[in-house]
Amino acid sequence: MDHWTLVAEYLAFVILVILFLRYYLYGRHVAYTFNRKYHLVCLCMSTLSVLINVVCVYTIAYAWKIPLWLNLLLNSLYFEISLVMCSMLAHYLFMQLFEHVYDKRPLKRAWKGIAALTVGFTAAVIWNLRSGAMFYFDADRVYRRGPINRLGYVILFIEICMLVACFLKYRHSVCKNMANLIYSLPPLILSMAAFQVAFPEILLNGTLTAIANLIIVISFNSRTLDHDCLTGIRNRNNFFTEVALRLANRQAMHFILLHLENYAAVNQMYGHPFGDALLYEIAYKLEQITPQGRVFRYSNVTFAMVMPFKNDEAARRTEKEVLDCFAGNWTVGERQAHVLSTQAYMVYHGEDWTPEQISEYLEYTLALARRQEKRELRFDQDIGKMICHKRHMLRIMRDAIENRRFRVWYQPLYSCHTRTFCGAEALLRLNDGEGNPVSPDLFIALAEENGMIDALSRIVAEEVCRFLSSPAGRRAGQVAINLSRQSFQDPEVAEYLLECLHR
């Protein structure tokens, strides 16, 4: 009879208990999603497997004092629970692998394959009670291994091969955490399993499962900078990651960008604690609407929703559900508040877009929707052309700033009282690359939106000061220039103007 060392199993039990405590302490502040609940069950199965393994070692050591049927039952239960636990962990990893793939048919096929292997192993465990093919006790109650005692390791190897094969096929849509896990966990499991086969007296099965669970917790169940600490949903960075992974396989997507209007009034009226609690309620409600999608806190009071696109009817039905959420009042505790929302919609059908382009299209559509009374707008070809024109204008403006192609025109100011010219107003003008004039209303608005307005103000200031140093400028006497509200927020604006005048 083998004499097994249980030190590693005791260590594994301690690690699993620590993971349970971590779930308890951390879970009080985090919503339990299906994936988290599923992994919690995997932890339970892992702990139960370690405990039964320890019990079996003692019952085998004192087999002559224990009924044979009880020893057979406990060891059969250990074999079965260990394999079921491995299969559940494999299924959990498959769910994480296909997390960013809307087509779940490969996941269903993988689950069927795992289920078939598990059912086959269960049949082998039952058959072992009569055949002893896995293990048996001889006439002296000594534990003996059967010819298929290592069948569980074979099934584990098959499941790892399935996981790696699916990863290689869908690697472009696999998140970084899952990719790192694939690179580290399977080699670790296979090496430890090989060590266990080579040195059967040192029990490592529990250690193997504990380390696997620890790596999974570190990879998937620890919140980092990709989640919003207030609402608990994913943040803007995670939005770009999610979109990039789904774009890799050209998956059809339905987007909703939702902005809460005048939310500062809610905070002023009810207080920031109420406003924060209301944001949490809104995020929770939006997640309930889209069980197959994801909700992100895109910015302060703007949420983005990414869902699989099935058809136009389903997309419009979801959009109406989101609109209906804001038709009435929101209740937090004993208080109620009405919140207005503006929404932008977009559908991706496989176009050659980047996550940044999708973000730009959504933000521009939302900006247009905020100017409309209806406060909802769908991205279409016309809006796409407007965005292309905007990009073209921004390129012209950047080039004009860099190459000093902006021109200052002077509109004379005439005094009817003295019947003389008493000054002028400086007006900034721009022509495109073909000599066509660009409306100031257009390029000034774009400059304010894209952080160029200070550069334009400095161009005007320098040109006007240069003009004032000329004979014509000295005769003009004074020139009025226009500064934007953003320019007045610059604490150095007065110093800069004085420096220009002095120079």
Q: Please report the sign of the dihedral spanned by the C-alpha atoms of residue 448, residue 453, residue 454, residue 457.
A: negative
CA distance 271 to 69: 68
Query: What does pTM read for this prediction?
Result: 0.66
Q: What is the pLDDT of residues 440-458, one digit of tens each?
A: 888 888 888 888 888 898 8
Q: Which two tokens stand for residue 257?
A: 């960008």
pLDDT score recorded for residue 360: 92
Sheet holding 376-378, edge to edge: 234-235, 294-299, 302-308, 253-261, 340-348, 376-378
Find out whether 236 and 38 touch, Cβ atoms under 8 Å. Answer: no
Indicate whether 29 pLDDT > 90.
Answer: no
Higher-pLDDT residue of 102, 27: 102
* Stretch (H or E) spanning 213: helix 205-220
Find out whether 335 and 278 touch, Cβ atoms under 8 Å. Answer: no
Q: What is the pLDDT of residues 258-278, one digit of tens each?
A: 999 989 888 898 888 888 889
Assign 1 a pLDDT band (cuts: 50, 70, 90).
very low
Give the rounded percent of residues in the chain with a pLDDT score beyond 70.
96
User: Cβ contacts of residue 284 below 8 Å, gap of 6+?
Assistant: 31, 231
Residue type, 321: E
User: Could you count the other beta carbons within 10 Å of the beta carbon of residue 5?
Assistant: 12
Find out whether 197 and 163 touch, Cβ atoms under 8 Å. Answer: no
| DSSP 3-state of 303 | strand
User: Could you count the other beta carbons within 10 Å of the beta carbon of residue 373?
Assistant: 4
Indicate whether 233 pLDDT > 60.
Answer: yes
Find out whether 16 and 213 touch, Cβ atoms under 8 Å. Answer: yes
Find out whether 287 and 279 touch, Cβ atoms under 8 Å. Answer: no
Q: Which two tokens stand for residue 61?
A: 């050591």
CA distance 79 to 258: 52
* Interval 143-161 mean pLDDT: 91
Q: How deeply is 105 buried, as exposed, middle or buried, from its count of CB atoms within 10 A (0-12, 13-18, 19+)?
A: exposed
Find out whether 461 and 428 touch, Cβ atoms under 8 Å. Answer: no
Provide the 8-state DSSP code for 202: B
* Interval 87-108 mean pLDDT: 87
Residue that the structure tokens 């049927």 belong to: 69
Indicate whether 30 pLDDT > 80.
Answer: no
CA distance 488 to 486: 5
DSSP readout, 109-125? HHHHHHHHHHHHHHHHH
Q: Which two tokens stand for residue 147?
A: 């010819």
Q: Which two tokens stand for residue 336?
A: 């109620």
Q: What is the pLDDT of residues 280-316, one digit of tens each?
A: 899 989 988 887 888 999 998 999 999 999 899 999 9
pLDDT score recorded for residue 31: 52
